Amino acid sequence: MRKSKGILFFLLVCLGVMPLHAQELYIPWKESFSSLRPLFRQDTVTLLFGGDLMMHKRQLEYDHRTFLEPVRSYLERADLAVVNMEFTLAGEPYTGYPAFSTPESYPRYAADCGVDVFLTANNHILDKGKSGLVRTLQRYREMEQERHIRITGTAEDAAADTASNPLVMAVKGIRIALINFTYGTNQKATSAWPKINGMDKEDICAAIRRARRRNVDLIIALPHWGTEYRLRHDPEQEAFALWLAGQGVDAIIGAHPHVVQDAGLIKTPGREVPVFYSLGNLVSNMTAPNTRLELFVTLRVTRDRFGELHMLPPRADYLWCSQPGCLTDTYQALAVRDFIGKRDLWRDPSDYDNMIQTYNRVKAATGIKD
């Protein structure tokens, strides 16, 4: 009887009568994928997450249309690439830290490189006040129309908030909800709108409920949190991560500390939730210890032969932000593993040595292997 039901399910799927996905997502954490075999094909969705894309004052002196070239292929290969945009588009005069206003050609270049989703809930999004945030949202909305990127984390009104908090996207038939929020902003909000998503449990629970009503398969929390420059997460991050996992979030990927922080699995009944506490910077002018090493994290979700979803072990790729005069004459984010053993390419070989030393130090401190 069980076999006949399986055959009936298979026929209904082939005829398009039944959807090829489970109604409720169960994600076992598997070290091996050898047991999963498709009937005809295997649908695997790759979701890539990058850290803080920044534009400090010195970076403004260079052509930013080269900053991501060494990792362009990583962004383009991903089915969905998500990056934190740690600046405003408040217009001229362009400024760096402590109050960022960046040329709008910078996020346009990121989109050209393959970034699909801009995260905007961060502590710098109000650097130029309400007017700066309004202009930033206007420019991003124009990009949504022109280049089909999406944004989440901020919203100009209640309708936009409902539409983007959570941001729900269908990728190869898998419905993914992104929930982006920040611990706070450097400048205080002077009005309710535009809204910046905060670490408010009631607001996050409401976003999770909206995600479930929209029949999503996967919920990913993207917090801007933590203590800057620490390679290990703090107790407040851990407590909030445990709470998020308890609310049904399927993965947690954080930013803000400007360095890579440790990662782990949160075990809840029937589920294991991966958490990466901080990815570090993607491109910046920061030179403090460990701030030039960062991560790309790739989540891979696949359907098994019964149409159920499974999350494979996350993949981590360490990146290095090369500064002018080190490898080339400008800033560039590069994958460390692509350059190991190529010290002779460096204009300043001591920077290669710095990269390798930082890479080994951070791996040892965080336990994250690439």
Mean pLDDT of 22-38: 31
Report the mean per-residue pLDDT for the chain: 89
Contact assessment for residue 329 and residue 338, using Cβ atoms and an 8 Å cutoff: no
Query: What is the number of residues in the chain?
Result: 370
Asked if residue 218 is part of any domain, the answer here is yes
What are the structure tokens assigned to 282, written together?
Answer: 């993607």
CB atoms within 10 A of CB 169: 19
Asked if residue 136 is part of any domain, the answer here is yes
Nearest-angstrom CA–CA distance, 59 and 78: 27
Cα angle 338-69-93, degrees, rounded to a multiple of 5 = 135
Asked if residue 164 is part of any domain, the answer here is yes
**pLDDT tens-digit map of 203-250:** 999 999 999 999 999 999 999 999 999 999 999 999 999 999 999 999
- DSSP 3-state of 82: strand
Structural domain count, the chain: 1
The pLDDT assigned to 20 comes to 27
Asked if residue 325 is part of any domain, the answer here is no
CATH number reported for the structural domain that contains residue 198 in this entry? 3.60.21.10
What's 238-261 look like in SS3? HHHHHHHHHCCCCEEECECCCCEC
Mean pLDDT of 154-178: 96
**pLDDT tens-digit map of 116-139:** 999 999 999 999 999 999 999 999
From the list 229, 354, 324, the residue with the least C-alpha distance to 280 is 229
- DSSP 3-state of 1: coil
Whether the pLDDT of residue 299 is over 50: the answer is yes
Asked if residue 239 is part of any domain, the answer here is yes
Asked if residue 36 is part of any domain, the answer here is no
Whether the pLDDT of residue 29 is over 70: the answer is no
Nearest-angstrom CA–CA distance, 261 and 324: 26
Nearest-angstrom CA–CA distance, 204 and 210: 10
Asked if residue 354 is part of any domain, the answer here is no
The pLDDT assigned to 298 comes to 98
Asked if residue 344 is part of any domain, the answer here is no
The pLDDT assigned to 305 comes to 79
Q: How confident is the model at residue 37 (pLDDT cuts 50, 70, 90)?
A: very low
Mean pLDDT of 140-150: 92
Whether the pLDDT of residue 13 is over 80: the answer is no
Side chain identity at residue 358, one-letter code = T
Q: What is the CA radius of gyration of the chain?
A: 21
Side chain identity at residue 141, one-letter code = R
Contact assessment for residue 308 and residue 26, using Cβ atoms and an 8 Å cutoff: yes
**pLDDT tens-digit map of 247-292:** 999 999 999 999 999 999 999 888 899 999 999 999 999 999 999 9
Domain that holds residue 133: 21-30+43-57+68-319
What are the structure tokens assigned to 88, written together?
Answer: 């405003």
